[in-house]
Amino acid sequence: MSIIETTVIVFGTTGIACGALLAIASRVFAIKEDPRIGKVCELLPGANCGGCGYAGCADYAKAIIMNDAPINLCTVGGAETVKKLSTFLGKTAEAAERKVAIVLCRGDEANAPKNSIYNGIVDCSAANLVSGGNKKCRYGCLGYGSCARVCPTGAIEIKDGIAVVHPELCIGCGACVKVCPRKIIKLIPASRKLHVFCSSLDKGPAVKKVCKVGCIGCSLCSKLAPDNAIVMSGALAVVDYSKNIDDEKATILEQKCPGKCIRKT
């Protein structure tokens, strides 16, 4: 028998033996997955957006079955998905209120001037690293579209130099919230219609120098808003979205705001 034939036989036998051992090991050490995980994953919308706090629908399905995670965390599926999961798992839960993203800034090109020309990577984080961005307001939207690029549904567009959210397209995944370097994008209940479109922590005189529609910290809105639905955080008025403001009162607050930063949507 030649050396080549011997080599082929040895390697062939070794390969077959290793294959057999692997097949045996895969059966002996196999981890059986609860079949309910696959079914729950099928009932989820498959967006894999991470809005539930898990890496994707498969991870969320596994957490529901293995770790008894709440079944109402899916922001995309909403009440319909909760109903399906309730029926399948025999659990009861109320669907969480739908949330949408909002950019708390109205400092577009007409209202908030820039202090320099930025010539670099078209990315908000990159621009923010260069002397804190090229906008005179150090809290305002930079407008380079990082949030729009991570949005899985195209719910954000850059309009006149700032990010604008289309709530009808928003699934509340929170990807834009995470990527914004200035932390001015928030997830809020979709039913809330009154907002303070400003995030500046500076006092009134400083705000007026850099933006025509910024909060000047007059605190008038906090006095007019019912049930402390608007409170002052230093010099900035902040809406407490856990409390509702009816349409009539919202209209009054919008009209009375001297900084023109309180708006209804």
Q: What is the pLDDT of residues 68-114, one digit of tens each?
A: 999 999 988 888 999 999 999 999 888 888 899 999 999 999 999 99
Tell me the C-alpha distance between 211 and 49, whole Å. 34
Beta bridge partners of 185: 103
What's the start-to-end Cα distance of the chain, in Å? 87
Burial profile 213-246: b = 16 or more Cβ within 10 angstroms, e = fewer: bbbbbbebbbeebeeebbeeeebbbbbebeebbe
pLDDT at 49: 87
Q: CB 264: neighbour CB atoms within 10 A?
A: 12
**Cβ neighbours of residue 154 closer than 8 Å, sequence gap 6 or more:** 148, 169
CATH 1.10.15.40 given to domain 35-89: yes
Residues with Cβ within 8 Å of residue 116, at least 6 apart in sequence? 131, 134
The domain made up of 192-265 is a member of CATH 3.30.70.20: yes
pTM of the model: 0.80
Picking from 147, 138, 144, the residue whose alpha carbon sits closest to that of residue 119 is 144
Residue 26: the pLDDT is 63
Q: What pLDDT was estimated at residue 71?
A: 95
Class of domain 98-191: alpha beta
| Domains 35-89 and 98-191 alike in fold | no
What is the block-wise mean pLDDT of the chain (265 residues), using blocks of 10 residues? 68 74 66 86 91 91 95 90 94 88 97 94 95 94 97 96 96 94 96 97 97 97 97 98 96 97 95
**Residue ranges per domain, the chain?**
35-89, 98-191, 192-265
